[in-house]
């Protein structure tokens, strides 16, 4: 009714539905809070044109990576492939980031990378992780200020389980990234669950 006849007052809606204005007040309040309907004094209620999906997309777009990111799991380039696997197991992650002593990102190693080497018969104890890592600049990264929606699209498009969250380090000659976090599919799924349960809006 609001979509086809709006703007329309609460009294006019009540009259058409043959109910009292007081009876409609809670329902109209919910519609206004949901964003599907807006109200203006002396004008009435009108339809905003938003549906549930567009409102969900709008809300998700407001979240930044920094709102949902996890603590990064890192090892150095001299770490053995075996110790990298142990780190993945203990931290319950699918990949580890390889960093220089200053925390500068140099590579990433996933369980798939280690599995390929292990199936080839190589000794994981003797192999440094830098031999099998995916090096920079081939790594897809995200930043704390990037939207979760944009970062999630990177994960899907590049078929990876997680992204390193980075900031530009102070390097005079070459561009370098310092690892400050980790964005995973689990982080994104948790955000969806919280939004579905009516939580997750505290950061906005």
Q: Give residue for tokens 């929606």.
A: 149
Query: How far is Cα of residue 10 from the mean position of the Cα atoms in its chain?
Result: 40
- pLDDT value, residue 202: 46
Q: What is the pLDDT of residues 76-123, one digit of tens each?
A: 988 999 999 999 999 999 899 999 878 899 999 998 888 888 887 788
The domain ranges of the chain are 2-50, 65-193
The topology under which CATH files domain 65-193 is: CBS-domain (3.10.580)
Which of these ranges, 19-23, 90-94, 159-163, 183-187, has the smallest mean pLDDT?
A: 19-23
Q: Pick from 60, 74, 59, 63: which is nearest to 144 by CA? A: 63
In this predicted structure, what is the pLDDT of residue 143? Answer: 95
What pTM value is reported for the model? Answer: 0.69
CATH architecture of structural domain 2-50 = Orthogonal Bundle (1.10)
């Amino acid at each position: 009714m609001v979509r086809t006849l709006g703007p329309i007052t609460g009294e006019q809606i009540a009259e058409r539905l043959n109910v009292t204005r007081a009876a409609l007040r809670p329902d109209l309040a919910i519609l206004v809070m949901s964003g599907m309907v807006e109200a203006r004094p002396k004008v009435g209620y009108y339809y905003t044109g938003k549906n549930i999906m567009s409102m969900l997309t709008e809300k998700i777009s407001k979240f930044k990576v920094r709102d949902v990111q996890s603590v990064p799991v890192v090892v150095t380039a001299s770490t053995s492939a075996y110790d990298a696997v142990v780190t993945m197991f203990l931290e319950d992650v699918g990949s580890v980031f390889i960093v220089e002593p200053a925390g500068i990102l140099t590579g990433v190693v996933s369980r798939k990378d280690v599995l390929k080497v292990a199936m080839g018969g190589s000794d994981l104890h003797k192999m440094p992780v830098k031999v099998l890592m995916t090096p920079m600049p081939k790594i897809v990264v995200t930043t704390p200020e990037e939207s979760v929606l944009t970062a999630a699209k990177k994960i899907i498009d590049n078929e990876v389980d997680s992204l390193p969250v980075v900031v530009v380090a102070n390097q005079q000659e070459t561009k370098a990234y310092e690892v400050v976090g980790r964005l995973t599919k689990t982080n994104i799924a948790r955000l969806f669950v919280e939004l579905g349960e009516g939580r997750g809006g505290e950061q906005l």
